[in-house]
Amino acid sequence: MTESRQRQSPAVEVHEFAVEAARLLADRHCEDIRLLDVRNLSQVCDFVLIATGTSDRQMKSVADELENSGAAQGHRAYRTSVDDIVTWVVVDFVDLVVHLFEPNQRVYYDLEGLWHDAPEIPWKRLQGSGAGV
């Protein structure tokens, strides 16, 4: 671990991990990715990441990759939940909760509406600064 990484506050580390998680979703072709800062709105978590998956296989694969990536960075998933027909996958890192939906479920649960007061965090890479979005 680098010195600058050691000196970062836990909030900064979680924020950076949340941005990296959003980028991972984009790299794996998830759609309509929204990263919301709910620190002033929720007593449960600090960030909510919402995305639409393209298939049940993709959503499960992305959830597994998120868990592995988080663990490698010191952010172990507390729990992962997948509904019976894989229309909604939740990966709970405590400070960051990731929701992967199939399109109809996303519209039905409307988490963006629930968190409409939450500021959206920019996560896209700048042009020429790496792979993907």
**pLDDT tens column, 76-88:** 999 999 998 899 9
Alpha-helical runs (H) found in 1-133:
3-7, 10-27, 56-72, 103-109, 111-114
Please report the pLDDT score of residue 125 as a whole number: 84
Measure the CA–CA gap between 109 and 63, rounded to whole angstroms.
19
How many whole angstroms separate alpha carbon 19 and alpha carbon 22? Answer: 5
What pLDDT does residue 127 have?
72
Q: Report whether pLDDT(2) > 50.
A: no
Predicted TM-score of the model (pTM): 0.87
Q: In this predicted structure, what is the pLDDT of residue 131?
A: 53
- Percent of the chain with pLDDT strictly greater than 90: 79
pLDDT digits (tens, 9 = 90+) for 26-50: 999 999 999 999 999 999 999 999 9
- Answer whether residue 74 shows pLDDT above 80: yes
Position 3 pLDDT exceeds 70:
no
Q: How far apart are CA 109 and CA 7, in angstroms?
A: 38
How would residue 126 be classed by pLDDT, with cut points 50, 70 and 90? confident
Q: In this structure, are residues 78 and 94 in contact, taking their beta carbons and an 8 Å threshold?
A: yes
**Other Cβ atoms within 10 Å of 88 Cβ, number:** 18
Which is the CATH superfamily of the domain at 3-114? Beta Polymerase, domain 2 (3.30.460.10)
- Residue spans of the domains in the chain: they are 3-114
pLDDT in tens, 15-29: 999 999 999 999 999
Name the residue with tokens 């990263």.
35
